[in-house]
A and B are shown apart, each in its own frame.
Chain A
Amino acid sequence: MKSGSNLEKVLTAGQFAVTGECGPPRSAHADEVRHKAQHLKGMVDSVNVTDNQTSVVRMSSLAGSLILRQEGLEPNMQMVCRDRNRIAMQSDVMGAYALGVRNLLCLSGDHQKFGDHPEAKNVFDLDSIQLIQTVRQLRDERKLLSGQEMPEGHEPRMFIGAAVNPFADPFAFRVHRLAKKIAAGVDFVQTQCIYNMPKFREYMKQAVDMGLHEKCFILAGITPMKSLGMARYMSKFVPGMDVPDDIINRVKAADKKDQAKVGIEMAVEQIQEMKEIPGVAGVHIMAIEWEERVPEIVKAAGLLPRPQV
């Protein structure tokens, strides 16, 4: 065991894993996190806590992660390269581990132009792949980037995650990018939410051909569509998103009051399909600001009860 986290145990045992997501509030109101946590308890193996996602300032991922722990859930803390330099990053990894965090996703971070503070300076001291390397070095070599060594048992031992986007360009390079993250030391990856199933199958085929599924656990991203408006927004304004027309049309075909129901149905269908795709070790359900629907999705997809390993 690298970190001993619940997520690691479920995946290592060969079970189909389910992770959820929780965006902290744009304030110091801890109860919002607790409220979201209640919907996810018992439904997922661990929960992502986003780090100032889309460059919008929110309560920190570390704080959100701790609140989740207090509520009895396992957090997947996230750290982006946009806001912290290597000094702050190593410091936060050690601090998070000291406070019980065991899963950490290493991400580039959306450019600050997208957020509510577009005038901010960005950092990008490290890129996401270098961050993965750094967290791995802290765990496996007990060394900081400076070479400073920690005594045995004192090092942060994180289960390292990353995000992959099978739909960004250039497509031909996307599987190489996954290979690179694996070479850097990633233990599990979550994909950007998928709507283009044929393209995703193609991506997985390439990944499996390269044997990448055996070196790292690949979780497929699922986001249920709430409405036609959301489908259109995702298609136009979210960087790196691929929403095929037939998906939009399926939501469009429904009455406005039924669109959410159709969205949920589509998500459940997708999860069933994901179970059958070789190389997919689980799903990552991102029902942003819609956490209350996760239980019915998980149940309908036949993913309950969650394994106790």
Chain B
Amino acid sequence: MIVAERKPIEEILDMVKDFKKILVVGCKGCVTVCNAGGTKEVGILASILRLARDKENNPLEVDELTLERQCDPEYIEQLDGKAGDYDGILSMACSIGPQYISSRFPKSLVYPTLNTNFLGGSLEHGVWAEFCQACGNCKIHLFGGLCPIARCSKSLLNGPCGGSSDGKCEISKDVDCVWHLIVEKLMEQGRMDMLTGVKPIKDWSTSRDGGPRKIIREDLKL
């Protein structure tokens, strides 16, 4: 899923400092799963904003709404007739949400309340880690099912580098060296031969480096 985290309250309060009435819009997709921007989190943020402005003697009216998703125009349409009522709209979706809302309501001031961090999954309840870099050409089967592009700090295809120590990456003891894991896994599977050949240089043009990407499915277009 897309994993995101709410921005610090000070940053969000600064966004709405000149407003009297705002709408906080949540999303039932990824951000609900990672407890960042679902219905619950919308309620919490709305309450915090009200309390903060209460304290300053400058009340802020905060309405709450959660959409199915904010990455399909059909769901954004549900804001029709409402968007104009607010000084500002705060999206609690990943950064895609505010872009969609902004696009449909060009006169509205739309703000992101989350920082979209990475593509990843949960390790345990309350802990998420990065697993994918959306490089556009998945080859994890060549690495024992692990992704060196996303999980190696240097995206090495022929790792590990000389900084791997005690199974940890040189940048932090909290970061596993994925190449250590790859080597161990392939050793366990008796498939070390997968690492003897030199992995060829990556074609990064399928990644962000090639420019903003788009997928067109002719079989699905109406």
User: Residues of A at under 8 Å CB distance from B?
Assistant: 81-82, 86, 108-111, 113-114, 122, 124-130, 133-134, 145, 163-165, 168-170, 172-173, 176-177, 179-180, 183-184, 192, 239-240
B180 contacts A by Cβ under 8 Å: yes
Q: A108-B156, A127-B159 are in contact. List 19 more A-B contacts (CB 8 A).
A: A81-B154, A109-B154, A127-B154, A127-B158, A129-B198, A130-B198, A134-B201, A165-B162, A168-B160, A168-B162, A169-B160, A169-B167, A169-B180, A172-B187, A176-B192, A179-B196, A239-B163, A240-B164, A240-B165
Q: Which residue of B lies closest to A169 (CB)?
A: B164
B103 contacts A by Cβ under 8 Å: no
A165 to B163, CA, bound (A): 8
B204 contacts A by Cβ under 8 Å: yes
Residue contact B198 to A183, C-beta cutoff 8 Å: yes
Which of A110, A169, A176 contacts B196, CB < 8 Å? Answer: A176
Which A residues touch B170, using CB under 8 A? 110-111, 114, 239-240
User: Residues of B at under 8 Å CB distance from A?
Assistant: 153-167, 170-171, 177, 180, 183-184, 187, 192, 195-202, 204
Which of B155, B160, B171, B204 contacts A173, CB < 8 Å? Answer: B160
The answer to whether residues A163 and B156 also contact, given A126-B201, A170-B184, A176-B192 and a CB cut-off of 8 A, is no
A114 to B162, CA, bound (A): 14
Which B residues touch A179, using CB under 8 A? 196
Chain A nearest CB from B115 CB (Å) reads 16
Which B residues touch A109, using CB under 8 A? 154
Which A residues touch B195, using CB under 8 A? 176, 180
A sample of 28 inter-chain contacts (CB < 8 A) reads A82-B154, A108-B161, A110-B170, A111-B163, A111-B171, A113-B171, A114-B170, A114-B171, A124-B154, A124-B155, A125-B201, A127-B154, A128-B161, A130-B157, A130-B158, A130-B198, A130-B199, A168-B160, A168-B164, A170-B183, A173-B183, A176-B192, A180-B158, A180-B195, A183-B196, A184-B198, A240-B163, A240-B165
